[in-house]
Structure formats: C-alpha cells, structure tokens
Amino acid sequence: MNFTKFPRRNYLQGPTPIEFLPALSTALGGDVNLYIKRDDLLPGSAGGNKTRKLEFCIADALAKGADVIITCGAVQSNHARLTASWSAKEGLDCHLILEERVKGSYKKDAGGNNFLFELLGVKSIGVVEGGSDMMAKMSKKADALKSAGKTPYIIPGGASNAIGATGYAVCAEETMNQLNEMRLVIDHIVVPSGSAGTHAGMVVGMMGVNGNIPISGMNVSRPKEAQEEIVYKLALETAKRLEVKGGIPREDIVCFDQYVGPGYSLPTNAMVEAVKLFARTEAILLDPVYSGKAAAGLIDLVRKGRFPKGANVLFLHTGGSPALYAYMDTFRQE
C-alpha cells in the first residue's frame, strides 16, 4: 500500500508496542496467549487511537486551507479530546458538537474528557439530543463560522471516513512488520468497533499486506447486523482509496454485539470486571466505553473456548482512560 500520495502529519513517534500479557493469560486459565497492541500510548493528550486517523484528517484540513476544525462525539468523547489536542498543537480553533446519547449525561463541570476539552482551549461546545443528525449540526456550525470569515473543516465522529480509516490501514501494516520482526504468529485480532474507522481500516490494511489474520470487532453501541454493514461500507471506501486489489470479502467483517449491555456508554458488570482485571494483572488502564467493553468480549470468548488451545490473540487497545474519571462511582460500587 502506498500512503505517500496522501497529506499526512507526523504525529506518531514510531510503532506502538506489542506486549505479551502473561498474568492476564494465566488468570483466564492459561489456554490462550494474550497480547496487546498499545495504541493507548500514542501521542496526544492522554493518548488513544484517534491520533492515527487525525494524522490524515488534519493534514487534509491544512491542505485545504482550514483554520478551524469542527467535530462531534459523545459527551465523554476520546475522539473529541484528541481532535482538540492536535488542533491546539497545529494552532487551529476547535469547535465540538456533543451528542447526549444518554439523556442528562452531559455536565459542564464533569471530569474526564469534559474537563480536558476546557483545558485544551476548545472554542465552543454545542450539546444536542441523542439521535440528532450530527453532520447537519456540524454543517450549521460551519456555515456560521464561514459567515464570520473562517475556513472550517468538518471531521466526522471518530474520524471514521476513508481518510481517517487510512490511519488504521497504516496500523495493520505496522503490526505485521512488528510480528514479522518478533517472529510472532498471531491467530486472531480483537478490536473495539464503534464509529467503524479502526475496525474497517484494520481489515483493509490486513488485506493490503496479505496478513491473513482474522479480525473480530466488539460492538460498543449497535446490533451486530447494523454494525457489520457500517464497517463493510467504510472498508470498501477505504480499500478503493488505497487501491487495495481483490475487494473486501463480506465474511471478513465480523462483529459481536453481546457486550454492549443496555446501551452506548452505559456500564456493564462485565466491563467493570474487565477494566479491573487488566489493571490488577497487567497495570493497564482501559476505558469504560470502548476498550473496557471490547476487553469484556475478549475475556468472554476466551472463557467460552472460542479460540483454540495455545492460540495467540492480539487485543488492540484504543486508549481512552481519561473517561474512567467520569465513572468512578461505577467502579467503587460493591
């Protein structure tokens, strides 16, 4: 795959580590060898996976002469935090539209990412009802900024378009290079699946480098069928952009929706257990919305024998630990 023809900022500082998780593997019975790709260690305030996508999205914005970035997300959005981070670094104004997917969940004085939006100097935060047309809301904001003489650029939620997903095609290639250097055979990769850019980009990247490692997405919001269609559509768009030959087989898009619980961002007992287990066995912090629920799915599949004995399974850690501090009451309940 050739990434040189696309505008790209240099936010990464080399590959993120791939680490063995011996204590967690033992705690889950020792039949499966668990590894983790530490995209929580990517640069940007408190790190996280969106930095890979924003390398391409913000580069595209700058190439088009933008001086303002507009994006959207949920009230504790990691994507919004990282967009604000890299906007600050680039000297760009940042405006956020936050979707209150759980009624009453937005609190102006909340901790976690909400506090970091303030610290990073976000110019405005608009809060809209769950289910709102977020692109329409961002477009309305863009029109107002244009009228004020600004040149705004809209980044979709999660930076999950073909431009942003390119960052995870890069990650797939990076991962395969690391595995080859480590002489480590990975039998399966597990990723969180939300706005779909990470999942779609990884599938396209693996196809582009002939990695032949199956990928499973752990849903954080939608039912299986709906999520798979969103991932598949974005994978096709990304493969076309990167000129990946052979297409993306529909059967390569696999999602699990059993770990969403009552809804997006709403805690589950399995998520709480997963976050505590990662912290207490490997000193790794997950987040309660994405990586926590994805890890709950990983743990359940291991316990149910979904992976063969002796399999090596890689978990993609997408970051997001600042959101933990908005969920402290959840973790302190007995």
- 77 is known as an active-site residue: yes
Q: Are 35 and 18 in contact (CB under 8 A)?
A: yes
* Beta strands in the chain, from DSSP E residues, in sequence order: 18-20, 33-38, 68-74, 93-100, 124-129, 152-155, 188-193, 215-219, 254-256, 312-317
Angle at 200 between CA 275 and CA 32, to 5 degrees: 45
Distance CA 119, CA 171 (A): 29
Distance CA 118, CA 108 (A): 10
Backbone angle region of 222, left / alpha / beta, with phi > 0 → left and psi within -120 to 50 → alpha: beta
Q: Could you say which DSSP state residue 143 is in?
A: H
Q: Are 291 and 46 in contact (CB under 8 A)?
A: no
Q: Are 320 and 291 in contact (CB under 8 A)?
A: yes
Q: Could you say which DSSP state residue 15 is in?
A: P
In DSSP terms, 33 is beta-bridged to 312
Distance CA 125, CA 207 (A): 39
Which residue type does 179 have? L
From the list 283, 301, 305, 281, the residue with the least C-alpha distance to 293 is 301
Which residue type does 225 have? E
From the candidates 77, 105, 216, 265, which is the catalytic residue? 77
CA distances from 51 to 69, 87, 130, 185 (A): 15, 11, 25, 27
Distance CA 187, CA 79 (A): 29
> Active-site positions?
77
